[in-house]
Structure 1
Amino acid sequence: MDYALSHLPDKDFHIFHNLRLYDHVDYFQIDFLVLCDRYALILEVKRQVNF
């Protein structure tokens, strides 16, 4: 995911990775938060494990 997001232009997008936030009750974690002028995109990434 880091590689794919690295192709977004820095001047248009702000990318935050592994955010830990507090909601006044408990903490929660966001894998990726992508911000631009038009939207905020939350990405939760799961990895496939092959046995």
Structure 2
Amino acid sequence: IQGVYRVLRGGCWKSLKDDLAISRRHRNNPGTVNSTYGFRCATDAK
């Protein structure tokens, strides 16, 4: 069924190393909310 899932890319703060790449794809229902979903902002360390 088209449109049932949303694509999640990359990993979260508790992911295993192999799941952190942006090329990793996961799926979940659009209404699912939890503390591991969101986006990250980063900058180079000084």
- Structure 1 length normalisation: TM-score? 0.30
Indicate the structure (1 or 2) with the bigger Cα radius of gyration. 1
The structure in which a higher percent of residues are strand is 1
- Structure 2 length normalisation: TM-score? 0.31
